[in-house]
């Protein structure tokens, strides 16, 4: 089946799964599967080398399994039908390391690893977001790349990574390419990854690791909730003025957005004036919708308030560190 690597073929496990009760209750589903003696088949592969995984991606369309925290709930009550490429054997994709120019997160790095890592204050917003990703059990298993590839408008990891100017590393058998995160997540459950590619790392430039940061999430309850709106902010301070600001908002558009107009407006502003500056901003970057969690108008007003709070959180963090020093 896979002439490029006989070992890859040996690692393909043919799984036979009994039909679920719901499928058995459906006469049409039963008739379609009758020739398979009431069973569905799929391919499952768990490579241990990156090159092997990239080779498998060339052969057909696979569903990539990392932490599985979104994968399994998405199945619902139905059986698994797609061929699964499990990347949990790729130890090279785990962990955080630094280069001369970037801080690099391996694709399989868990949210708990992010929380515990000794990262600069600019990453505090990412750590705060990591603590909002479900329960501790989910944080132990869910991965940073999985959060991006799932491409939910409410993905907690996207706003802070946008404010850190992150880019994603995409590898295939043909080579490697890098895309800004803003160009990778294209829409609701839609990314720029091709079927032959694997997201292998997230890169944050050292130049974007300056300053301090904050993250605020608004939901219907305190924990285990899909957000109504969320904001991440990174601030570089020059005395009592803002030298640089990076602000992004999630759950208020199909894709989380950087507020470039507000960032330009805040540059050079007095730190004490941020609430007044944001009160007059009309948030043209956002395109919220009405849904069960909130109206579009409410989301805009919520974004206004939590953007202020995220900025204040960042500035308060800088004040605390200055006092401690």
Q: Give the N- to C-terminal CA distance of the chain in Å, as an integer.
A: 63
Q: For 235-266, how does the pLDDT look when each residue is reduced to its tens digit (9 = 90+)?
A: 999 999 999 999 999 999 999 999 999 999 99
Backbone angle region of 49, left / alpha / beta, with phi > 0 → left and psi within -120 to 50 → alpha: beta
At 324, is the pLDDT very low, low, confident or very high (cuts 50, 70, 90)?
very low
Q: For 267-307, how does the pLDDT look when each residue is reduced to its tens digit (9 = 90+)?
A: 999 999 999 999 999 999 999 999 999 999 999 999 999 99
Strand order in the sheet with 212-218: 212-218, 229-238, 241-250, 257-258
The reported pTM is: 0.86
| Helix residue ranges per DSSP H, 230-295 | 260-266, 274-279
Domain spans in the chain, listed from the N-terminal domain onward: 6-86, 91-208, 210-324
Q: Which CATH architecture has domain 210-324?
A: 2-Layer Sandwich (3.30)
User: Residues 109, 147: contact at Cβ < 8 Å?
Assistant: no
For the domain made up of 91-208, give the CATH fold: 3.30.465
């Amino acid at each position: 089946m896979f002439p490029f690597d006989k070992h890859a073929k040996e690692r393909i496990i043919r799984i036979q799964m009994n039909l679920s009760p719901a499928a058995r209750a459906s006469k049409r589903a039963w008739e379609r599967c009758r020739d398979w003696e009431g069973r569905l088949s799929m391919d499952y592969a768990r490579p241990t080398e990156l090159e092997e995984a990239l080779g498998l991606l060339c052969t057909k369309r696979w569903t990539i399994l990392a932490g599985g925290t979104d994968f399994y709930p998405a199945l619902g009550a139905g059986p698994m039908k797609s061929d699964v490429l499990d990347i949990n054997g790729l130890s090279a994709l785990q962990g955080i390391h630094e280069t001369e120019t970037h801080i690099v997160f391996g694709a399989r790095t868990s949210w708990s690893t992010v929380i515990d890592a000794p990262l600069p204050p600019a990453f505090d917003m990412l750590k705060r977001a990591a603590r909002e990703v479900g329960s501790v059990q989910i944080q132990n298993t869910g991965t940073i790349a999985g959060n991006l590839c799932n491409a939910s408008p409410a993905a907690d990891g996207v706003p802070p990574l946008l404010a850190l100017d992150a880019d994603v590393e995409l590898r295939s058998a043909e080579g490697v390419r890098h895309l800004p995160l803003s160009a990778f997540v294209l829409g609701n459950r839609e990314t720029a990854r091709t079927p032959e590619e694997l997201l292998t790392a997230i890169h944050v430039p050292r130049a974007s690791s300056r300053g301090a940061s904050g993250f605020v999430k608004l939901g219907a309850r305190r924990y285990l909730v899909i957000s109504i709106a969320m904001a991440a902010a990174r601030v570089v301070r020059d005395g009592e003025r803002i030298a640089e600001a990076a602000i992004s908002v999630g759950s208020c558009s199909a894709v989380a957005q950087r507020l470039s107009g507000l960032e330009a407006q805040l540059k050079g502003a007095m730190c004490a004036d941020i609430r007044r500056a944001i009160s007059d901003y009309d948030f043209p970057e956002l395109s919220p919708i009405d849904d069960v969690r909130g109206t579009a108008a409410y989301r805009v007003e919520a974004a206004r308030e939590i953007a202020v709070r995220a900025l204040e959180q960042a500035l308060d963090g800088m004040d605390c560190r200055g006092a401690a020093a």
